[in-house]
Structure 1
Amino acid sequence: MRKLAILATPLALIAAPAAAELPTAARAMIDAAIASGDAEQVEAVIATARTAFPDDSAEIDAIWTAYQAEQRELAAAEAAAEVEQIRQAGLFDNWSGEGQIGAFQSSGNTDEIGLSAALDLQREGIDWEHRLKFTADYRRQDGTTSREQFLARYEPRYQINDGLFAFGLAQYERDRRQGFSGRYSLSGGLGYKVIDTDTMELSVKAGPAYRVTQFIDGTETSRVAGLVGLDFDWQISDSIKFTQDANGTAETGGEALLIVDGANTSLTATTGLEVGVSDALRARLSWAVEYDSNPPAGAVSTDTLTRFTLVYGF
């Protein structure tokens, strides 16, 4: 019996050998990929190691599982830190936007100056988003103002869920060519993000509005209105972007006022194509149309403007 026990011992060792360790060079290659911080490189090296060392797949899988768990923890910590930074941000923090400006001056047969400027600002929080827009177009020829158009708009948004949001809108317009020295609009309602991807965004919104118009002849009207809006952005490539923004306002004029004074429907739509010049600078070609169905006497209902500008993002 003692001989059998002695013989059984080496047989047991042969039947259950110790697990082989991953070669030092292979482990060093994986560690170097992890240290690089490039997740795609780590995944590629792990796949290569599995193919080259199939007997060590269990150890390689354990390394990969531990790496993924560590990355999830880091991502969660970064996300929590970002949320906390947004919550602690001051009123003037976390704003981004773009600005554009153009001007010209001529003398001789005609004495003319012109100025075009625009500023778009945006601030995104956890649930809230704030949008500010300012535009100005001014032109004076031979002592006569031929264009004087200004717009200021503030739009806060509250994200109810992934797609649905509530919005408010306060807007001031001045366009003496269209016959009004001031037009004030207040609106609010609901909107929905129909498309929201890294390269394409499409949102629609609608709600009631109240609008006061001060005409250049000194008269003034105030009407209940309905507002419909659309925003569309498409990043065609790394350097080319297509934009479409439209806002339509249809005035009801109230029950009797609509019949007596008639209704006025206005539409502003801007289509743009942007091409990147540098990381912060873009060239934009845009076409804008403004429509008022019932303009004052002496004014036409439709205005169009084609513009080429340089845009600086920040």
Structure 2
Amino acid sequence: MTRFKIVLAALALTSQAAWAQDTPDGQWHGGLSVSGALASGNTSSHTLAANADGSRATADDKISLYGIANYGRNKVDGIKTTTADLLRLGGRYDFNLGTQWFSFGSAEGETNRAGGVRDRYNLSGGVGYHVVKTDAHLWDVFGGAGYTDSRFTDGSRANGVQVLLGEESSHKLSEATSLKQRFVYYPDGGELGDRATFDAGLATRINGSWTLNAGLSSRYAERVPVGTKKTDNLLTMGFGYKF
């Protein structure tokens, strides 16, 4: 088993698509969700997908952590092909500036060789505003700037300062079902090009702390190696555990 597979397995045991609730009680809230498939016969394949999201909120600040992993391998006529090998980890710290305004700082790391990205790192900061803030619904808009360093599988590299604009929301649809989504747009940063990310997750409690989860992760990058698509989408469905 390669090191990357070990990381994926560990993430699968500690990750989630049942997005964390922003209850300001100073406790960590999150969960775990994993989906996968195995096939054998004329062709053999195996896939594993996992999502992670957890947060700790108080009246003054909030810490959010997240992770996404997707690994796929096919074998046809004895020839093995890696179809997916995505791993993305990140976090954000929010500090309340008042009832509606907040400041934030975030960091993210990613590898996605099947998508042409050997590794990408991003550090950013800015301010946000709570457009809607109730017990059942929360909608934030935010903006700022950050530094991005991308290394691609063709040996090229792009780095520099990049503006970011985004929005995110969470919704308690019922006592058992919650929905969260996040969209971030990085306007053209010179050699970095345009980038955009979208993540959404739906979780429904089915028994106690066990949940049925669906997640969507979509990434667009204007600059990619030749022969690589600019958009990557990951749709997952699986079972999870919420804490």
Same fold (TM over 0.5): yes
- For 1:160, the equivalent position in structure 2 comes to 97
| 1:190 maps to amino acid | V
Once residues 186 and 244 of structure 1 are traced to their aligned partners in structure 2, the CA distance between those partners, rounded to angstroms, is: 21
Once residues 123 and 112 of structure 1 are traced to their aligned partners in structure 2, the CA distance between those partners, rounded to angstroms, is: 38
Following superposition, the deviation at residue 130 of structure 1 comes to 0.8
Secondary structure, aligned partner of 1:177: helix
Once residues 65 and 200 of structure 2 are traced to their aligned partners in structure 1, the CA distance between those partners, rounded to angstroms, is: 19
Once residues 97 and 109 of structure 1 are traced to their aligned partners in structure 2, the CA distance between those partners, rounded to angstroms, is: 40
Once residues 205 and 144 of structure 1 are traced to their aligned partners in structure 2, the CA distance between those partners, rounded to angstroms, is: 40
Once residues 185 and 119 of structure 2 are traced to their aligned partners in structure 1, the CA distance between those partners, rounded to angstroms, is: 18
- Corresponding residue to 1:96 among 1, 9, 29: 29
Confirm or deny: 8 A CA contact 2:64 2:92 kept in the other structure. Answer: yes
1:181-233 deviation per Cα after TM superposition (whole angstroms, max 9, x unaligned): 10100100001111111111101111011100011122222121011221111
- For 1:120, the equivalent position in structure 2 comes to 53
Whether 1:188 and 2:119 are equivalent positions in the alignment is: no
| 1:110 maps to amino acid | T
Pairwise mapping of residues 42-191 of structure 1 onto structure 2 (< 5 A)?
94-142=27-75, 143-191=80-128
Whether 1:297 and 2:226 are equivalent positions in the alignment is: yes
- For 1:197, the equivalent position in structure 2 comes to 134
1:33-70 deviation per Cα after TM superposition (whole angstroms, max 9, x unaligned): xxxxxxxxxxxxxxxxxxxxxxxxxxxxxxxxxxxxxx
- Mark the structure with the bigger radius of gyration: 1
- For 2:184, the equivalent position in structure 1 comes to 247
Which TM-score applies when normalising by structure 2?
0.82
| 2:45 maps to amino acid | E
Once residues 305 and 103 of structure 1 are traced to their aligned partners in structure 2, the CA distance between those partners, rounded to angstroms, is: 12
- For 1:207, the equivalent position in structure 2 comes to 144
Following superposition, the deviation at residue 99 of structure 1 comes to 1.3
- For 1:267, the equivalent position in structure 2 comes to 196
- For 2:206, the equivalent position in structure 1 comes to 277
Larger deviation: 166-175 or 104-113? 104-113
Q: Alignment identity in percent? A: 27
Once residues 264 and 119 of structure 1 are traced to their aligned partners in structure 2, the CA distance between those partners, rounded to angstroms, is: 28
Secondary structure, aligned partner of 2:229: coil
1:254-283 deviation per Cα after TM superposition (whole angstroms, max 9, x unaligned): xxxxxxx4x511111123333221232221
Higher helix share: 1
Higher strand share: 2
Alignment RMSD (CA, Å): 1.9
| 1:151 maps to amino acid | R
Which TM-score applies when normalising by structure 1?
0.64
Higher relative CO (Cα under 8 Å, sequence separation at least 6) belongs to 2
Structure 2: 5+ residue runs without aligned partners? 1-23
Structure 1: 5+ residue runs without aligned partners? 1-82, 87-93, 254-260
| 2:145 maps to amino acid | P
Confirm or deny: 8 A CA contact 2:94 2:104 kept in the other structure. Answer: yes
| 1:96 maps to amino acid | H
